[in-house]
Amino acid sequence: MKIALLGFGKMGQLIEQIAQQRGHEIVLKISVDNPFDLTKENLRKADVAIDFSTPDAALQNIYACFDADVPVVVGTTGWYGKLQEVKNECDKSNSTMLYGSNFSIGVNLFFKLNKFLSKLMNDHPEYDVQLEETHHTQKLDAPSGTAITLAEGVIENLDRKNEWVNQVTDIPVEVSAKPDQVLIESNRVDHIPGTHSIVYSSEVDDIEITHTAHNRNGFALGAVISAEWLQNRNGFFNVADIFE
């Protein structure tokens, strides 16, 4: 499989290594140093594109892939406010795209565990729930896309919660969650690939589930597996579709 890498930072470089180990070829690498190489002609050299760029660049990259009729896997987060718009354009142009807030196999199992636990807690109103996410200081968006997915999983399955709010610990403005809100606390610490915790607290005890990434390898491997899965498919997909 021939792959175009849109974004060639730490994640892009790791994806290149894993893709080559799995027998794939990298035919295009786009970074801040060569944005003008993102052309229809160059994209069409690839069977699939993988985007781990920035929230600002992701939309441009997605639409460039649609225009070139090249399937695209999008691991960039921070642009989900435009998700419905992108889905509409994907359907309209008969394009192919797979996106996800986290491509790690462990995290996707964690998503399922989170939903199951949320359903159980419907019968236990004495517990309130809060999320905490910690990432490296280079992460551009807060809360993380993974934390948002987890919060949405809680809201979908826990009847007493309707929306989430975010508290960034580096910003000295305290955010108080209302009873129908899920608080996401975001921490930025050097050299932390990603840790997410969901805590249900009552007056007598806490129930906590946590996923801790030891490195970025799981994210990169999941992105390459997603690109392999996308071959010979057409439409708009979420990474969760791979695990169904």
Looking at the fold, whether 173 and 89 belong to one and the same domain comes out as: no
Alpha carbons 212 and 139: distance in angstroms, whole number:
16
Looking at the fold, whether 46 and 109 belong to one and the same domain comes out as: no
Pick from 139, 193, 147: nearest CA to 166: 147
Looking at the fold, whether 116 and 204 belong to one and the same domain comes out as: yes
pLDDT tens column, 209-222: 999 999 889 999 99
Which residue, chain included where needed, has tokens 């974004």? 7
Could you report how far apart the first and last alpha carbons of the chain are, in Å? Answer: 24
Measured CA distances, 220 to 19, 129, 224 (Å): 9, 30, 6
pLDDT tens column, 24-45: 999 999 999 999 999 999 999 9
CATH of the domain at 228: 3.40.50.720
Residue 61 lies in domain: 2-99+217-243
Looking at the fold, whether 128 and 51 belong to one and the same domain comes out as: no
Mark out the alpha helices in the chain (DSSP H runs): 10-21, 40-43, 55-68, 83-92, 105-120, 145-157, 217-230
Looking at the fold, whether 203 and 150 belong to one and the same domain comes out as: yes
Measured CA distances, 60 to 56, 63, 65 (Å): 8, 5, 9
Angle at 130 between CA 124 and CA 131, to 5 degrees: 130
Looking at the fold, whether 201 and 110 belong to one and the same domain comes out as: yes
Looking at the fold, whether 166 and 193 belong to one and the same domain comes out as: yes
CATH of the domain at 152: 3.30.360.10
In the structure, what pLDDT confidence band is assigned to residue 170 with cuts at 50, 70 and 90? confident
Looking at the fold, whether 119 and 207 belong to one and the same domain comes out as: yes
Residue 138 has pLDDT above 90, yes or no: no
- Residues facing 96 on adjacent strands: 235
* pLDDT for 221: 95
Which residue, chain included where needed, has tokens 């608080």? 183
Active centre residues (catalytic): 135, 139
Give me the number of domains the chain comprises.
Answer: 2
Query: 0.85 cut: is pTM over it?
Result: no
Pick from 6, 1, 17, 57: nearest CA to 216: 17
Looking at the fold, whether 205 and 121 belong to one and the same domain comes out as: yes
Angle at 206 between CA 202 and CA 209, to 5 degrees: 135
Phi then psi dihedrals of residue 183, to 5 deg: -85, 130
Looking at the fold, whether 80 and 133 belong to one and the same domain comes out as: no
Which residue, chain included where needed, has tokens 């996707």? 108
* pLDDT for 142: 86
In the structure, what pLDDT confidence band is assigned to residue 173 with cuts at 50, 70 and 90? confident
Helix (H, G, I), strand (E, B) or coil at 89: helix
Looking at the fold, whether 76 and 144 belong to one and the same domain comes out as: no
* pLDDT for 192: 87
Looking at the fold, whether 95 and 113 belong to one and the same domain comes out as: no
* pLDDT for 114: 98
